[in-house]
Chains A and B, each alone.
Chain A
């Protein structure tokens, strides 16, 4: 059974800092890994999708990497801003129809 873990559960940083969020998964037989952002009281917004054959994806100040063999992904946020404060979730898709989600990392960027 696939399990997805995100550490730490919460992270607080000063504005302008570069930071890394971690995601690990137990079964390396995945089709893709997605990173989402969730603001309080809102749904999830897809940030980046990395296919199993890819090593990384970039969008603006965000860079996500994938190492299938070690079961790890990282989300790198450059020059963090208070508007980046949110909960970040990763999810992996295997052969079944469901995405398996981690429980998220709650990020607070302090002005």
Chain B
């Protein structure tokens, strides 16, 4: 049972480059989300999806795009990387009853933008 899988684990980008952080879950969860975790700031929601074809913005969406073409996958795209996007990124998912289903996290992608 893999749960939530994120790739890559580490990535270094130069300012202006673009990349996609991958996230896949095998629990048939409808709800998926992306958080970033920064020292002193805690976890902040970037984007989320309540099902295939549906996405919405979270607290800090600027500079990021998402799409949800399947239930399993929820990639996060950085359009033009900036040093302020240096962070640890976590993908998370939960079941249909989001109010009573625990959130499952991947192990994160540590991104450095130089």
Contact = CB atoms under 8 A, between A and B. Distances in A.
Interface of A: 31-32, 34, 36, 41-46, 49, 51, 89, 91, 93, 97-99, 101-104
Given A31-B99, A31-B100, A99-B103, 4 more contacts: A43-B108, A44-B105, A45-B105, A49-B100
A61 to B, nearest CB: 18
B111 interface: no
A42 B48 contact: no
Contacts of A101: 42-43
Contacts, number: 59
A45 B105 CA distance: 7
Contacts of A97: 33, 45, 48, 50, 56, 58, 98
B104 A46 contact: yes
Interface of B: 4, 33, 40, 42-43, 45, 48, 50, 56, 58-59, 90, 92, 98-108
Contact of B100 (A32, A41, A99): A32
A73 to B, nearest CB: 15
25 contacts: A31-B99, A34-B102, A43-B4, A44-B90, A44-B92, A44-B103, A44-B105, A45-B105, A46-B104, A49-B102, A51-B100, A89-B42, A89-B43, A93-B98, A97-B33, A97-B50, A98-B33, A98-B45, A98-B48, A98-B58, A98-B59, A99-B43, A101-B42, A101-B43, A103-B42
